[in-house]
């Protein structure tokens, strides 16, 4: 179409988005959000009240996306392999937990209001309910199955933080190697990284305990499925 239309971009784009390959379910959500996209999607999904946006900037930097600081003039790569490794997934989970629990100054999230103030009776129910709120029109069975042990661990947040700290040195070395060789990882490895670190986590859900609900919401935000766009 590009050649037949003498390089007409409009006609070319129409041909692309009208193709069967473009709408093939196998190709859906194969992109991974950058830290900026991840942080902003969390804000949108939760209808968060942002009073200090600079806090989001700081978290994006912590997750490896310091705006306008990529050396190449083309900007940060639009590839999942650049953003995802074990340490970055743990940092994203830390962001989700801090974000949902109100531990980021100047950012407020009203989780009960998202469910019309209907309180889930268990952590598993909260996982199912808030997964549907944060991830509408997504296949949730596998993602929720992967997260159930994590949402039922009262010490999950502490363990994730410790695991992230333990991975810092390793990730620094990984990132240097990634920048040199554009290291590739498969989608299976991306999803398995969080699963590997969550196997050791086996939170009793206390009705009326907003901190428990925040932990469930934060784990969903930090989950592999929420990373996809």
Is the per-residue pLDDT at 21 higher than 80? yes
Average pLDDT for 131-145: 90
- Give the residue, 227 or 14, on which the prediction is more confident: 14
Q: In this predicted structure, what is the pLDDT of residue 184?
A: 46
Q: Which helix (H) or strand (E) holds 127?
A: helix 123-134
pLDDT class of 176 with cuts at 50, 70, 90: very low
Give the predicted TM-score (pTM) of the model.
Answer: 0.74
Please say if the pLDDT value at position 192 is more than 70.
no
Q: How many C-alpha atoms does 143 have within 13 Å on its Cβ side?
A: 21
Where is mean pLDDT largest: 16-30, 33-47, 143-157, 215-229?
33-47
Mean of all residue pLDDT scores within the chain: 81
Give the pLDDT confidence of 56-79 residue by residue, as tens digits. 999 999 888 999 899 888 889 888
Residues in the chain: 229
CA distances (Å), origin 73, targets 68, 77, 81, 118, 124? 9, 11, 19, 49, 46
Q: How far is CA 54 from CA 95, 106, 200, in A?
A: 14, 9, 34
Q: CB-hemisphere CA count at 13 Å for 16?
A: 7
Q: 159-170 pLDDT, tens per residue? A: 777 666 666 545
Name, in order, each residue with C-beta under 8 angstroms of 99's C-beta and a sequence gap of 6 or more.
42, 46, 48, 107, 109, 218, 221
- The band of 41, judged by pLDDT with boundaries at 50, 70 and 90, is very high
| Listed residue (134, 104, 45, 107) closest to 126, CA to CA | 134
DSSP state of 228: B
pLDDT band at 221; cut points 50, 70, 90: very high
DSSP per position, 32-74: B--HHHHHHHHHHHHT-EES-THHHHHHHHHTT--TT--SSTT
Q: Answer with the residue of higher pLDDT: 204 or 54.
A: 54
């Amino acid at each position: 179409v590009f050649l037949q239309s003498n390089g007409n971009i409009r006609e070319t784009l129409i041909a692309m988005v009208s193709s069967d390959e473009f709408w093939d379910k196998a190709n859906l959500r194969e992109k991974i959000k950058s830290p900026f996209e991840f942080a902003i999607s969390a804000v949108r999904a939760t209808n968060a009240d942002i009073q200090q946006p600079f806090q989001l900037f700081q978290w994006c930097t912590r997750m490896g996306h310091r705006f306008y600081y990529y050396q190449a003039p083309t900007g940060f790569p639009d590839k999942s392999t650049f953003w995802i490794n074990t340490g970055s997934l743990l940092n994203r989970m830390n962001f989700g937990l801090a974000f949902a629990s109100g531990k980021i100054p100047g950012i407020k999230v009203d989780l009960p209001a998202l469910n019309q103030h209907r309180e889930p009776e268990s952590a598993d129910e909260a996982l199912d309910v808030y997964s549907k709120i944060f991830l509408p029109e997504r296949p949730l069975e596998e993602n929720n199955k992967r997260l159930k042990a994590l949402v039922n661990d009262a010490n999950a947040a502490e363990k994730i933080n410790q695991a992230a700290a333990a991975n810092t040195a390793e990730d620094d070395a990984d990132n240097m190697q990634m920048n040199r060789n554009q290291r590739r990882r498969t989608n299976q490895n991306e999803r398995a990284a969080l699963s590997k670190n969550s196997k050791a986590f086996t939170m009793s859900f206390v009705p009326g305990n907003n901190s428990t609900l925040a932990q469930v919401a934060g784990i969903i935000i930090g989950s592999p499925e929420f990373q996809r766009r």
